[in-house]
A and B are shown apart, each in its own frame.
Chain A
Amino acid sequence: MKGKDHAALADEFNKDEPRVNWHDETLWWVRQKRDKAAHKVPEWEELRETASQIKNNVLSNLSEYLQQFEAAATANGITVHWAADAAEHNAIVLSILRRHQVDKMVKSKSMLTEECHLNEFLSTQGIDVVDTDLGERVVQLAGEPPSHIVLPCIHKKKEEIGEIFHEHLGTPKGNADPQFLTHAARLHLREKFLTRRVALTGVNFAVAETGEFVVCTNEGNADMGAHLADVHIASMGIEKLIPLRKHLGVFLRLLTRSATGQPITTYSSHFKKPRPGQEMHVVFVDNGRSVHLGRKDFRNSLKCIRCAACFNTCPVYRRSGGHSYHTAVAGPIGSILAPNLDREKYADLPFASTLCGSCSNVCPVKIDIHEQLYKWRQVIVQAGTAPLAKKVAMKTMNWVLSNPSVYHGAGKAGRWFMLNAPFTVNNGLNLWYKQRDMPGVPKESFGEWYKKNKK
């Protein structure tokens, strides 16, 4: 593994304790809003079950749905492209820009383009990309990736955003009023919307039956970009297909309630045909998904609709921050998706969990997230890509637990050391003691006590 792993990055995040507490509480508040919204829908569990079954059907029929969508969209005047990997996706986008001799574009939120590192690629080609979602614009100006797929700058304090806007947009120094800063961004981005000829958006759902795709935003930035541009490019992972338009009724009821506790996003826009004179492109991106589909234990993660409910509820995510996951989609779902792309690079992520199962409980499409985390750990350890300290510890533990005499001896020795020489246990080498206190040490083990008292 190159670079720092989740634990090391989380350590950095944890240096500022008040900020960690604030981050934790903010996301827990979003989780509570989700609960309130979900509890208002009496048939919530039925909705989840239906959504899960629809997605199971999608995975089992994906090759047909992709072709069905392609045929319908093509008939509607949309050009459909197929990208085997990130590089091909980026090349397709670049070729469209080049054909129109355009070197500037606006982009609404798309985690897929984060996964493909589109912005970095286009900037090396002399193309200027402006992210138009407010949170994404903030992190783009800060030179950072989003830390959360729904709330991209949730890790930033308003004072820091005020400072970023002061530097880049010329707002008065020291002004950190969200209303004021949002208005400044509105003016700044309106100019971009009005002058860019190409707009790229993500896709929330693509309907095989009708060849239309749906983009959900609260800000209206996807629509502002797409309807003012000569060319609309929509990039989507191949798993975003749904069979029938009426299935949107199920997914749109679940998506935003799970994400932020809103009953629906402000805009749920259905794009079916380009407007007269406009070009519309859909880029299907595989990038490992078709291989992932073949992994029986892990394919369910492709049902994800990117609501981030599992982020907000996760005790590890809330206290380690999105950047500690060093991947475009962080949190529990990201931790089961990323090892599919690169098992070695992301070998740490399935261990960034307590396996408490809260993620699976809130998932609107019933992905067995915590079970997959557990299964990835086994795959990773068997493949020998687990972190070294963990490997050694597990091997030792295995030896101790499978030898009764060693086990009893080790227990005795452990108690003696903890009583008489605690520094040998509680030191920097033993990660268990990080942010934990020593337990009281009993004089004897239960086994010894039982022997004495069994009469």
Chain B
Amino acid sequence: MSSRDKILATVKANQPEQRALPELRLGAGGADGAVAAGVGAGGGDLSAAAGTDLSAAFITMLEAIGGSAYMVSGYERIATILREQHPRVGRIISGCPELEVFAETGKRYADPHVLEDVGLAVLKAHFGVAENGACWITEDRMIERALPFIAQHLALVIRCQDIVADMHGAYEWIEKIEGAAAQAEGAGAEKGVGSYGFATFIAGPSKTADIEQSLVLGAHGPRSLLVFLIDEGLSDAGFY
């Protein structure tokens, strides 16, 4: 008998009587059962469904965990701010074609080790989560899986309306992204098309408190994290 069969047989013999899964009625959309029903069912934005401005809560949380946030009108402002914030950062790679004069864009890399010297990576994330300051990013937006971790500094870009209240909303959104991608692949696409091979929530810069509980930013990954929230209706006039 293989270990597999032995383990499965013992587990099966010992597992208790069937217990039902609970219904998920938690989170901002959960009180009225909206999460269970699917917040995005109406086809609108998940964030809009929450009906409140979540960007302020997101920014407060992000700052509390060591990140910083900027509301910007577009990529021109992003380039200006990054030049000011990271004047001598060295090699910059971006997944935003809008930043091509500012960074390496549109390249693929055969070996992640060539990213060793990246000073700054600027990547588009999908959405932010207000309750914890995290952003969800899938590997198609990372250029290389290693990039958001190996870069000395990281900047993420989202639209300011793309923020969910909590993690329940986040997983609803993730499902929606996959659904849309599968649809784009064609109606005959099999399940799982458009889904990521790797994805992550990033909440603030890399950090540790392993030495006497003293918080230090910049453990192995980026030492800083900037999140840009693009609000196209925003005027640049008030800045600087």
> When the two chains form their complex, are residues A228 and B112 in contact, meaning their CB atoms are under 8 A apart?
yes
Docked Cα-Cα span, A186 to B129, in Å, equals: 29
- Let me know if A138 is at the binding interface, CB within 8 A: yes
Docked Cα-Cα span, A153 to B14, in Å, equals: 37
Instruction: Kindly supply a per-residue 1/0 record for chain A positions 176-199, scoring 1 wherever the CB is within 8 Å of any chain B CB and 0 otherwise.
Output: 001101110010011001100000
Note all chain B residues with C-beta closer than 8 A to A218: 206-209, 219
Partner of A134, one of B30, B168, B219: B219
Note all chain B residues with C-beta closer than 8 A to A219: 206-208, 219-221
> When the two chains form their complex, are residues A267 and B21 in contact, meaning their CB atoms are under 8 A apart?
no
The smallest C-beta distance from A21 to any residue of chain B, in angstroms, reads 14
Partner of B11, one of A62, A138, A244: A62
Note all chain A residues with C-beta closer than 8 A to B174: 245
Instruction: Kindly supply a per-residue 1/0 record for chain A positions 293-323, scoring 1 wherever the CB is within 8 Å of any chain B CB and 0 otherwise.
Output: 1101001000000000000000000000000
Partner of A153, one of B22, B116, B196, B210: B210
- Let me know if B134 is at the binding interface, CB within 8 A: yes
Docked Cα-Cα span, A94 to B14, in Å, equals: 30
> When the two chains form their complex, are residues B219 and A57 in contact, meaning their CB atoms are under 8 A apart?
no
- Let me know if B193 is at the binding interface, CB within 8 A: no
Instruction: Kindly supply a per-residue 1/0 record for chain B positions 23-56, scoring 1 wherever the CB is within 8 Å of any chain A CB and 0 otherwise.
Output: 0111100100000000000000000000000000
> When the two chains form their complex, are residues A178 and B211 in contact, meaning their CB atoms are under 8 A apart?
yes
Best-buried of A154, A183, A267 by chain B (most CB within 10 Å): A267
- Let me know if A43 is at the binding interface, CB within 8 A: yes
Q: Which residue of B is nearest A223, CB measured?
A: B149
- Let me know if A110 is at the binding interface, CB within 8 A: no
> When the two chains form their complex, are residues A248 and B16 in contact, meaning their CB atoms are under 8 A apart?
no
The smallest C-beta distance from A288 to any residue of chain B, in angstroms, reads 10
> When the two chains form their complex, are residues B26 and A43 in contact, meaning their CB atoms are under 8 A apart?
yes
Q: Which residue of B is nearest A253, CB measured?
A: B167
- Let me know if A122 is at the binding interface, CB within 8 A: no
- Known contacts A62-B15, A263-B132, A270-B198: A132-B220 contact under CB 8 Å: yes
> When the two chains form their complex, are residues A272 and B211 in contact, meaning their CB atoms are under 8 A apart?
no
- Let me know if B131 is at the binding interface, CB within 8 A: yes
Note all chain A residues with C-beta closer than 8 A to B113: 194, 228
> When the two chains form their complex, are residues A56 and B3 in contact, meaning their CB atoms are under 8 A apart?
no
- Let me know if A84 is at the binding interface, CB within 8 A: yes
Q: A223-B221, A250-B168, A263-B133 are in contact. List 13 more A-B contacts (CB 8 A).
A: A49-B22, A61-B18, A75-B192, A182-B211, A219-B219, A223-B148, A245-B171, A248-B167, A263-B203, A266-B206, A267-B203, A267-B221, A293-B15
Sorted from nearest, which 7 A-B pairs have the closest CB atoms?
A220-B221, A294-B14, A273-B197, A219-B219, A263-B132, A135-B210, A227-B146
Q: Give residues in A with beta carbon < 8 Å to B.
A: 26, 29-30, 41, 43, 46-47, 49-50, 53-54, 56-57, 59-63, 66-67, 75-76, 82-84, 88, 132-135, 138, 151-154, 156-158, 161, 178-179, 181-183, 186, 189-190, 193-194, 210, 218-221, 223-224, 227-228, 238, 243-250, 252-253, 260, 262-275, 284, 286, 290-291, 293-294, 296, 299
Q: Give residues in B with beta carbon < 8 Å to A.
A: 2-4, 6-8, 10-22, 24-27, 30, 61, 65, 112-113, 116, 129, 131-134, 139, 144-146, 148-150, 166-168, 170-172, 174-175, 192, 195-214, 216, 218-222
Contacts A/B (CB < 8 Å), 26 sampled: A54-B22, A75-B192, A84-B3, A135-B210, A152-B210, A158-B212, A161-B211, A179-B216, A194-B113, A218-B219, A220-B206, A220-B219, A223-B148, A227-B150, A246-B168, A249-B166, A249-B168, A250-B26, A253-B166, A264-B132, A270-B198, A272-B196, A275-B139, A286-B10, A290-B7, A299-B16
